[in-house]
Amino acid sequence: PLWCVAILTLFLDIDGIGTLTWISFIPLVILLCVGTKLEMIIMEMALEIQDRASVIKGAPVVEPSNKFFWFHRPDWVLFFIHLTLFQNAFQMAHFVWTVVCTSNWQFSYGCKAPRAAADELR
């Protein structure tokens, strides 16, 4: 599923519409949603411990449960974290590839095909 996002990003990267600009906000939104959800989970677990009448000296006994997560699916939170990390890495790699291959730097010797295609369009 993560590579499908990369392929979809490349297909939607049409000159002039700024796809990579708008897609770069998706990790921020995911980060805010997942961070807020994890904070709520910690708060709900703390309230659950506080409601108990018996106190045990030492580390509090926490019973992890799926009931705290979206639709009782904790793997979704993990997927969104992976998606955010993948999107950030993909966007950085795409940026470096674009800068190196489309410039007139001395380092652009390995990227002849994109430059030749761009020259033909001019």
Q: What is the pLDDT of residues 38-59, one digit of tens each?
A: 899 888 888 887 777 666 676 6
Q: What span, in angstroms and rounded, lies between the C-alpha atoms of 65 and 55? A: 20
Single-letter amino acid, residue 108: S
Q: Is the pTM of this model over 0.95?
A: no
pLDDT of residue 36: 92
Mean pLDDT of 106-112: 53
For CA atoms 111, 117, 118, 120, the dihedral sign is positive
- Contact indicator for 45, 38 with CB cutoff of 8 Å: no
| pLDDT above 70 coverage of the chain, percent | 75
